[in-house]
Structure 1
Amino acid sequence: MKRAVYSQRGPVPQDVIDAVEFTVPALAEGQALVEVLAAPINPSDVLTLTGRYGLLPPLPAVGGNEGIGRIVALRSSRPGLPMGRTVLLPVGCGSWSTHVVVDAARLMPLPDDADPRQLAMMTVNPPTALLMLREFVDLQPGDWVIQNAANSGVGAYLVQIAKLRGLRTVNIVRRDSALQAVRDAGGDVVLVDGDRLTERVADATGGAAIRLGIDAVGGAATDRLAGCLAERGVLVNYGAMSGEPCHASPAAFVFRDITLRGFWLSRWFRQADAQQRQAVFGEVAALIARGTLHAPVAATYPVERIREAVTAAAAGERNGKILVVPNA
């Protein structure tokens, strides 16, 4: 059995992590041994390895914040968790591993006949997209929402969830090569970020009043999104792909009363009760099982090649998620 362990953090994320062998301890009462089927590498995972994420586990740590697996040993009488059942792993369990030992009470049963690679990505990106569309502005069918980093994992889910709710999307990307992938995902308007963005968005939407903007880039891109919003619009930031703080002109706040908010899924998880979390996960799992919600996968790697996997995940030029598939 192997898992990806790091004992330090540094500016080059792939240099601080490696696959090491380990022995599974005997299960205590209430625990389950889960064979990991798939686990994604998210931007937050890369930031954790560099020490720049908002919540850092104590060292040494096992990489991987989400994933799914199959129960292979169990010391629990909890109903609905038979041997061999596909389950959602608890957040932060160290999923870049061939096997994990977890509290059986924290496992959520999943459909056994759904694509495990798609289910593995359900804990972070789909809830982020769903909640940002729901929590900040009361959007109605026919309304517009604008987002940048539209070719990201969250961006792809946001396009699909918006379409299911009758919303229309303006999708901003940072390179020409990303345009077609977002169009194929169902984006209504897809544009490359840059000069005259406000005018180009207005032309493409017929001057629609856009009340919600979603920013994952930061820097000057934040101000360009703010310029596309209607008076009293809300701009939600959830990332800083540019590596820069959010920049916004005072004119956006003073003359158009734009509100800049932040969203962090970890905070939402801490504040939500079990019923709220279950409702979100249940909705996402059902959509994935039906094939309604999906995300592209760029490549898969065994845990032994974790350094290559992290290198690929940290690179900018790709369309799709990097997955660790420990037991392929």
Structure 2
Amino acid sequence: MKTVRARYTQRGPNPHELISPVEMDLPDLAPGEVRVEVLAAPINPSDVLTLTGEYGLLPQLPAVGGNEGVGRVIEAAADVNAPPVGTVVLLPVGCGSWSTHLQLPAKSLVPLPAGVDPVQLSMLTVNPPTALLMLRDFVELKPGDWVIQNAANSAVGGYLVQIAKLRGINTLNVVRRESAVDAVREAGGEHVLIDGDDLPKQARAITGDAPVKLGIDCVGGVSTENLARCLSEGATLLNYGAMSGERCMISPRYFVFRDITLRGFWLSQWFKNADPEARKAVFAEVGGLIATGKLKARVQQTYPIADIAKAVAAAAAGERGGKIVLVPNG
């Protein structure tokens, strides 16, 4: 059987010029394997950084793009009883999901509910767990507490707004341009602020004297300090990205006089250290929310694998209105 995969042999500053669809032959199924038709696979910022060579974990070249997605089992080796043919499954992290078909160990697949939009399910592995874990694991938050985040119009930002709302947590949602405000409000973000020197004033106008215990930064640069200035004494500031392309800038005064803690979060590190039951529980919680329609992401456009270069270019562009998702067999 033949498959088409989005393959690249080098890395560089123009990722869409480096990746192209390549037809390959799939071998016969080995014992314990199943053949999966890939239904949908998103293009995340980490995927783009992997193509440019700027991500923290880089595969050997040549490589196939795609770190997450969902598929449907279409064939199984004779010794495989589960998951049965026809099951929609979550693909393992880092499997090269930008492919029309994959052959994978049956035991590496997580069955998913039937009848759910595969495009929404395809984003289950990376962004929703990132939002959930940052809200859950660093500061003890109770209903009514306040959290401030920047890049609120990003995919993680949208999930964070929705998860916080389900838990009764209030969010201050910071964006860098006026045109991004509506997208955050559509995701459920009631309070949307524009980043700048007056950010603390904007925040206090909403929260009053209520403490802001957690800040979540995906931008870096001076935006890191802007968030720090909004936090209450003893709060935690959590960085998980650098959309500005700049290092986190923050004065020592916030560490010394305000007792602000700056920490980092990388989902790959969490996966590495978490036990299988913890990973399973997170996927079950997120998957349940997506399956019931309580958690969803904005999607700007889907692309077939033949248009992988256009899809990567769209994902790398600024001011998008939602996720770019590959539908390899579309």
- Tell me the TM-score normalised to structure 2 length: 0.98
Distance 1:76 1:232, change over 3 A: farther
**Secondary structure of the corresponding residue to residue 211 of structure 1:** strand
Counterpart in 2 of 1:298? 300
CA drift of 1:76 comes to 6.0
> Percentage identity across aligned positions?
64
What's the C-alpha RMSD, in Å, of the aligned pairs? Answer: 0.9
**Secondary structure of the corresponding residue to residue 10 of structure 1:** coil
| 1:315 is aligned to 2:317 | yes
Write out aligned runs for 1:95-244 (5 A).
95-244=97-246
**Secondary structure of the corresponding residue to residue 42 of structure 2:** strand
**Runs of 5+ unmatched residues, structure 2:** none
Counterpart in 2 of 1:18? 20
CA drift of 1:78 comes to 5.0
| 1:60 is aligned to 2:65 | no
Aligned residue type for 1:206:
G
Counterpart in 1 of 2:46? 44
- Between the aligned partners of 1:77 and 1:206, the Cα distance in structure 2 is 63
**Secondary structure of the corresponding residue to residue 36 of structure 1:** strand
- Between the aligned partners of 1:208 and 1:47, the Cα distance in structure 2 is 38
Contact 2:82 2:106 in 1 (8 A): no
- Between the aligned partners of 1:80 and 1:4, the Cα distance in structure 2 is 28
| 1:93 is aligned to 2:95 | yes
CA drift of 1:188 comes to 2.5
Distance 1:213 1:287, change over 3 A: same
Contact 1:31 1:76 in 2 (8 A): no
Distance 1:201 1:84, change over 3 A: same
- Between the aligned partners of 1:323 and 1:246, the Cα distance in structure 2 is 30
- Between the aligned partners of 1:18 and 1:219, the Cα distance in structure 2 is 34
Contact 2:33 2:80 in 1 (8 A): no
Which stretch shows the higher mean deviation, 228-237 or 71-80?
71-80
- Between the aligned partners of 1:309 and 1:149, the Cα distance in structure 2 is 22
CA drift of 1:322 comes to 0.1
Contact 1:142 1:167 in 2 (8 A): yes
Cα distance per residue 1:17-72 (max 9 Å; x no partner): 11111111111101111100000000000000000000000110000000000001
- Tell me the TM-score normalised to structure 1 length: 0.99
- Between the aligned partners of 2:286 and 2:79, the Cα distance in structure 1 is 27
Aligned residue pairs, count:
328
Distance 1:284 1:78, change over 3 A: farther
Contact 2:299 2:323 in 1 (8 A): yes
- Between the aligned partners of 1:5 and 1:305, the Cα distance in structure 2 is 13
Distance 1:104 1:80, change over 3 A: closer
- Between the aligned partners of 1:190 and 1:208, the Cα distance in structure 2 is 17
**Runs of 5+ unmatched residues, structure 1:** none
